[in-house]
Amino acid sequence: MLISYLPYQDLWVVIILWSLYYYGDYCFTVFNSKNYPPVLGRHFVHKGSFEIDTRLQDDIDNGRWFSLAFLRSWIITCMGFLMFWWLSGLGNFPQLFQWYSGLLFLLFGVSYLRHFRNFSSYKFYNKGDIIGKVEYTESYDLTQSAWELIGFSLFYLLISVILGSWFFFGGFVSSIFLATNHRKMAKKASANKKILT
């Protein structure tokens, strides 16, 4: 990926790319939250928020294209770029900046895959190829997310080892961390016998 070869001096290029990438993910989530219920909702019932991140759930569920919670998160991630850029220069270790870039870009790559999967599904479900209705519990959704993230984390780790890439190693770290978090959330939801409402 281009981003993995950018030197740490190209800070503002990376921040601009990240801003577009991050907001694009937010917009796709809002779009899917509006289009999922009338299309896929006929067959797959998620009784709760379309968004897993509790900080963004209210804005996503209400179809807001601008979110203060998102803005706060964006500022924090950009401050992270600034901090790791500074540390990379201080220690003459540009791989640190590449690691942080991979931490974010590759993690949200998984999210983009899910968006495109939803997009490609709409036309098939409209044809009547799916019959019946399935209701997902919160525990199931989170467990599936965790396993999917584990799969990506192992792939990122493999590429990291083969290429000696700190960028892909960052993707491994963030994906495995979020997978662990979702697994814990799934266990908690299962223990409480919560169903998405």
The per-residue pLDDT of the chain, averaged, comes to: 81
Q: Average of pLDDT values for 139-168?
A: 90
- Report helix, strand or coil for 45: strand
The length of the chain, given as a count of residues:
197
pLDDT score of 188:
79
Q: Range with the lowest mean pLDDT among 97-106, 118-127, 136-145, 163-172?
A: 118-127
Q: Write down the domain spans for the chain.
A: 2-192
Q: Are the CB atoms for 49 and 62 separated by under 8 Å?
A: no
Query: How far is Cα 86 from Cα 155, in angstroms, rounded to an integer?
Result: 29
Structure tokens at 164: 């000696």
For 34-91, the pLDDT digits (tens) are: 776 555 666 666 666 667 777 887 888 788 898 898 999 999 999 999 999 888 888 7
Query: How far is Cα 82 from Cα 90, in angstroms, rounded to an integer?
Result: 12
Which of 108, 132, 112, 109 lies closest to 40 in space, CA to CA?
A: 132
HEC sequence for 27-92: HHHHHHHHHHHHHHHHCEEECCCCCCCCCCHHHHHCCCCCCHHHHHHHHHHHHHHHHHHHHHHHCC
pTM of the prediction? 0.80
Query: How far is Cα 31 from Cα 171, in angstroms, rounded to an integer?
Result: 26
Percent of the chain with pLDDT over 90: 37
